[in-house]
Amino acid sequence: MKNDNCISCGLPIKPCKYNPNKKYCSVECGRKYHYLVNIEKERAQCKEWYSKHRESEIQKNKEYREQNRELFEWYHNKIRFNGVKELIINRDGNKCIICNSTKRITVHHIDGTGNHNAKKEDAKKINNSLDNLLTMCGSCHTKLHHWQRRNNYKCKNIKEIKDWKGVDIVDGVPELHYITP
């Protein structure tokens, strides 16, 4: 006896002269059932493939990044900093203006216009004036953005950032914690 209900959702299957042995009430139900039945098998296959090819994939990515490093750096410098990135880093002594670290140096836009997710047409709006850019290590840069997002506050000038250690909002007013000499 033929089952007249969909094996995926249990709804009645409408008869079809082209496929009298239909198991699903719709294409969507068939796909959903196939996905649910085979997802673990596909995940295991992907995991197995990745474990076999992990080292070669990592090596390919490293080689690609190394081969294209100059291009990436040129594009990043040209689009996001109008070619002044190296000038800013040299101006600030090749070190973070907050902690004096020389590791993972980056350039920060004080006014927040240097969004790396910005569209190409928004690149014209980026303020790359020398007084809006400063050098920070990756750690201080990440911490600064975290504090700014958390407190919905943006530092307004280089002095505020040079003296910055953290920002708390107390009664709606930014309270800066300064590094003591």
Q: Is pLDDT at 1 greater than 50 in this prediction?
A: no
Task: Return the closest-CA partner of residue 110 out of 177, 79, 156, 148.
Answer: 156
Angle between helices 27-67 and 69-81 (to 10 degrees): 100
Predicted local distance difference test score (pLDDT) of residue 121: 56
Residue range 165-180: average pLDDT?
48
Is residue 115 scored above 80 in pLDDT? Answer: no
pLDDT tens-digit readout, 41-73:
888 898 999 899 999 999 998 898 888 888 877
Question: What is the pLDDT at residue 169?
Answer: 45
Phi/psi region, residue 94 (left: phi>0; alpha: psi -120 to 50; beta: rest), is left
Per-residue pLDDT, 93: 92
CA atoms of 135 and 92, how far apart (whole Å): 6
Length of the chain: 181
- Please count the other Cβ atoms lying within 10 Å of the Cβ belonging to residue 156: 11
Poorest-pLDDT segment among 5-19, 85-99, 146-160, 163-177: 163-177
Q: Is the pLDDT of residue 174 over 50?
A: no
At 80, phi and psi to the nearest 5? -90, -20
Query: What's residue 90's pLDDT?
Result: 92
What pTM does this model have? 0.50
| CA 150 – CA 96 distance, rounded (Å) | 22
